[in-house]
């Protein structure tokens, strides 16, 4: 085994030996699993889930045309007619709410949610037609884009992508992916925090523990140590990402199944103009999570090296987390657009509703280019700066 491999293993072991790293990871994992379980039935045996799968699985693959919507309406109306004692009093003052509850009882809540999230009105769900459904979907893309601050030209370009989606859309039961979206945003925040906890001292500890002089006197200087620290830190960050992402997707697939992988993204994000499948969306999110974790790891290492303090590094990242909670008004134009690329937004489901254009790039493409480019620049800066500190010390 080479000396670099030995150093790499030792550095990785040092990072993963910290109790704080495992405590933070376990807490994040518990939160991911807790959110993943929130929609399960009270008896814990998934009876409600099985009802959804049976009822909606039977109609998966059908085109969402007028015949499809008529089937949905007749199923819900049958539930209302067969249980008048349960719904009559509710129908007197809130017909929309009665319709929603009847859809749930008929095992069609997931389908009801798809329709409601598009038309955004309980009353409109009751008798919506296919033409109204797709027209509302299209108008939402336009209104959301203009509200974000996009130009009309940008919105028109996104609408062209949406118009390429084959319609009527083929329905697919995809409840697992809807729940994955709910958890991804939490994972994004957890990674920012967990990676900071794990790596804030990766370079600062040299000063704190006074091992910098020993490293300086090493035969081959600091450069090999720096490269080993970078490799071990990125590995630790990726391990956390894979654990959280794998747990999120795994628990949802276990209870809700993986149906819907090849369905259009509009099944779970109705106002998305993207012409991709749900499976492609999940793969893109996985790529963004991996890239973001590498970016978080590198920024932590740079701060740890510059501040020479694990506490200062954590404090800076706490400020970054706090700043990420706020949105910039769309009237600020380019600044508002660039703010959408902040790390806390990388795994937000709104990524695939975003109609921003940055020249020829969309938000996902520019996020990838930006994070990858900055990561390379920061690694080069870190290696050169670390080597320079060796020369200055001598």
Q: Give me the residues of the chain with pLDDT under 50, please.
A: 41-45, 212-217, 391-394
* SS3 category, 243: helix
Task: Render pLDDT for 238-292 as a digit per residue (tens, 0 to 9).
Answer: 999 999 999 989 888 888 888 899 999 999 998 889 999 999 999 999 999 999 9
Task: Check if the beta carbon of residue 229 is closer than 8 Å to that of residue 205.
Answer: no
What is the per-residue pLDDT for 317? 79
Neighbours of 138 (CB within 10 A): 16
Neighbours of 29 (CB within 10 A): 18
What is the per-residue pLDDT for 44? 47
What is the per-residue pLDDT for 77? 92
Task: Check if the beta carbon of residue 252 is closer than 8 Å to that of residue 32.
Answer: no
The helix (run of H) or strand (run of E) holding residue 386 is helix 363-393
């Amino acid at each position: 085994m080479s000396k670099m491999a030995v150093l790499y293993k030792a550095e990785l072991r040092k990072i993963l030996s910290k109790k704080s790293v495992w405590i933070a990871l376990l807490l994040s994992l518990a939160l991911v699993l807790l959110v993943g379980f929130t929609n399960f039935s009270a008896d814990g045996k998934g009876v409600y889930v099985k009802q959804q799968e049976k009822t909606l699985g039977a109609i998966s693959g059908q085109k969402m045309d007028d015949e499809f919507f008529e089937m949905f309406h007749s199923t819900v109306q049958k539930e209302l007619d067969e249980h008048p004692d349960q719904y009559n009093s509710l129908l007197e003052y809130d017909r929309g709410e009665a319709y929603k509850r009847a859809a749930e009882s008929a095992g069609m809540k997931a389908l009801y949610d798809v329709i409601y999230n598009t038309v955004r009105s309980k009353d409109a769900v009751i008798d919506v037609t296919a033409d109204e459904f797709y027209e509302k979907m299209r108008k939402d893309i336009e209104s959301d884009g203009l509200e974000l601050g996009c130009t009309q030209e940008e919105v028109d370009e996104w609408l062209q992508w949406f118009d390429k989606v084959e319609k009527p859309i083929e329905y697919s039961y995809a409840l697992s992916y809807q729940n994955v979206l709910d958890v991804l945003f939490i994972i994004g925040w957890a990674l920012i925090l967990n990676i900071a906890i794990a790596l804030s001292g990766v370079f600062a500890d040299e000063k704190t523990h006074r091992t910098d002089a020993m490293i300086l006197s090493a035969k081959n200087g600091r450069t090999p140590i720096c490269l080993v620290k970078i490799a071990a830190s990125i590995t630790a960050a990726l391990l956390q990402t894979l654990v959280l992402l794998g747990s999120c997707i795994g628990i949802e697939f276990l209870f809700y199944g993986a149906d819907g992988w090849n369905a259009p993204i509009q099944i779970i994000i109705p106002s998305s103009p993207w012409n991709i499948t749900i499976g492609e969306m999940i793969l893109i999110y996985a790529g963004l999570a991996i890239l973001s974790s590498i970016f978080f790891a590198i920024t932590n290492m740079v701060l740890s090296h510059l501040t020479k303090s694990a506490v200062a590094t954590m404090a800076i990242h706490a400020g970054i987390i706090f700043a990420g909670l706020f949105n910039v008004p769309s009237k600020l134009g380019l600044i508002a657009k660039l703010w959408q690329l902040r790390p806390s937004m990388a795994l937000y489901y709104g990524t695939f509703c975003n109609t921003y254009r940055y020249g020829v790039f969309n938000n996902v493409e520019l996020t990838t280019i930006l994070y990858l480019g900055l990561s390379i620049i920061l690694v080069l800066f870190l290696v050169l700066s670390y080597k320079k500190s060796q020369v200055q010390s001598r």
